[in-house]
Amino acid sequence: MPRYHTLGKIPHKRHTQFRKPDGSLYSEQLFGTIGFDGMYSNSYHVHRPTMVKAIKKQYSVAPKIAKENNIQSYRFKGFQVAPENDYLESRKAVLTNSDCTIILAAPKDSLKDYFYKNTDADELLFVHKGSGKLRTHLGNLDFKYGDYLLIPRGIIYQIDFDTTDNRLFIVESRRPIYTPKRYRNWFGQHLEHSPFCERDIRVPYELETNDEKGDFLIKVKKKDEIIEMVYASHPFDVVGYDGYNYPYAFSIHDFEPITGRIHQPPPVHQTFETDAFVVCSFCPRLYDYHPLSIPAPYNHSNIDSDEVLYYVDGDFMSRNDIDAGHISLHPAGIPHGPHPGAAERSIGKKGSNELAVMVDTFKPLMVTQEAMKIADEDYFKSWL
């Protein structure tokens, strides 16, 4: 998201002397992406962010694949994923390819006994249930039901949950996640026809600056493995930073749907993009207002992409027998569309109250063993 942000204390010029009250230097860190060509921030630390004391366990968290070459449509009942205490252990990969992994999580406990850093992927967390605070080395964000939390790769973070009843829909992306470029002018500002703008995006508002040495465990994800690293100083010791690379929040309730006289295609719902997949938000909206319109979506062939729809809340008018927390997978290569009776039911209706998140990938998704535990294997027959 190309938008400048600064928080805390920084020197007048980057890469120049910035001294503590005792006269010693703060440690500057360039936190950047895509070599030196992508978005970056310059942060200033009380201690050197490089002090590794020990490297302990290393273990795989790679998704276990059940179906590598899949052409079957599925429904997965996401709320059947059992809650678990530990944040990382609660994350269950259900769909994956070389660009992204789609995860369901129901963590009961806050992430507070260790820190976490994903060096493989940007993480997009959608909060289906729960509220709390995302705490990162570049500042904190409050979150609640309906929030997207965009955590760029390399961010060190913890999460404080307010309760034990939490449900997250997570997309790990090995490609950088941005807001759609067609919504922005050449300066990076959101255009007038964009369904959201800068006012809707929440940036970190407070820094935790810990001047503390000791043993601090960071669980680092790299190449689908967790590596436990012990650092000699507290990861949250930043006194200030500025730049374009930091976590932020956006509420699905602040997405303003684009409508028309006839049914609009899915790209009007687009909220995030990479060069390998897109994320869309389906929000309450007025239905099409042509006198002969059919508000239900038309049948369409997914020739180039797999379509994943995560149902959040409301009345899902194009589907029969769909509840909150369900996921539908419609793979590339075959057509899909509204269930029998849905088109007729939609005629004359004035609006939708559905809330859903869609992920369209341009490479086929593999179905994992975790997904098959919650799969409706007869879903593909539901159009008969």
In a shared domain, residues 223 and 115: yes
- Looking at the structure, tell me whether residues 102 and 181 fall in a common domain: yes
6 lies in some domain: no
pTM of the model: 0.96
Alpha-carbon distances, residue 239 vs 45, 46, 218, 243 (angstroms): 6, 7, 20, 14
Q: Does residue 174 sit in the same domain as residue 263? A: no
DSSP string computed for 319-382:
-SS--TTEEEEE-TTSEE-PPTTHHHHHTT--EE--EEEEEEESSPPEEEHHHHTTEETTGGGT
* 18 within domain boundaries: no
Whole-number Å distance between alpha carbons of 165 and 183: 35
Q: Please check whether residue 92 lies inside any domain of the structure.
A: yes
Domain residue limits at 330: 256-381
Q: Which pLDDT score, from 0 to 100, does residue 174 have?
A: 96
Give Cα separations from 211 to 42, 57, 86 (angstroms).
19, 27, 27
pLDDT of residue 349: 87
Residues 206 and 330 in one domain: no
- Beta-bridged to residue 103, according to DSSP, are 93, 170
15 assigned to some structural domain: no
Domain CATH number, residue 126:
2.60.120.10
* 230 & 262 share domain: no
Q: Which residue, 78, 74, 109, 72, is CA-closest to 92?
A: 78
Same domain, residue pair 289 and 338: yes
Confidence of residue 1 (pLDDT cuts 50, 70, 90): low
Is there a single domain that holds both residue 288 and residue 223?
A: no
Q: Give 80-86's long-range contacts (Cβ < 8 A, gap of 24+).
A: 80/373, 80/374, 81/105, 81/106, 81/370, 81/374, 82/106, 83/107, 83/108, 83/164, 83/165, 83/166, 84/108, 85/109
Which secondary structure element, helix H or strand E, spans residue 89, and what is its range? Answer: helix 87-90
Q: Which tens digits make up the pLDDT trace of 354-373? A: 999 999 999 999 999 999 99
pLDDT digit string (tens) for 336-354?
999 999 898 889 888 888 9
Pair 234, 86 in one domain: yes
Mean per-residue pLDDT over the chain, rounded: 95
Using a 10 angstrom Cβ sphere, with 0-12 exposed, 13-18 middle and 19 or more buried, the burial of residue 338 is: buried
What is the model's pLDDT at position 133?
A: 98
pLDDT tens-digit profile of 125-150?
A: 999 999 999 999 999 999 999 999 99
- Per-residue pLDDT tens for 164-182? 999 999 999 999 999 999 9
Structural domain total, the chain: 2
The mean pLDDT value for 110-116 works out to 97
Does residue 345 lie in a domain region? yes
Q: Which of 201, 218, 252 is the last residue of a domain?
A: 252
Please give the pLDDT value at position 285: 92
Decide if pLDDT at 279 tops 90.
yes
pLDDT given for residue 166 in this prediction? 98
pLDDT score of 2 more than 80: no
Single residue among 231, 252, 273 that ends a domain in this structure: 252
195, 228, 252: which is the final residue of a domain?
252
Residue 69 inside a domain? The answer is: no
Q: Are residues 280 and 373 in the same domain?
A: yes
Q: Are residues 171 and 264 in the same domain?
A: no
Residues 218 and 123 grouped into a single domain: yes
DSSP three-state, residue 193: coil
93 and 234 share a domain?
A: yes
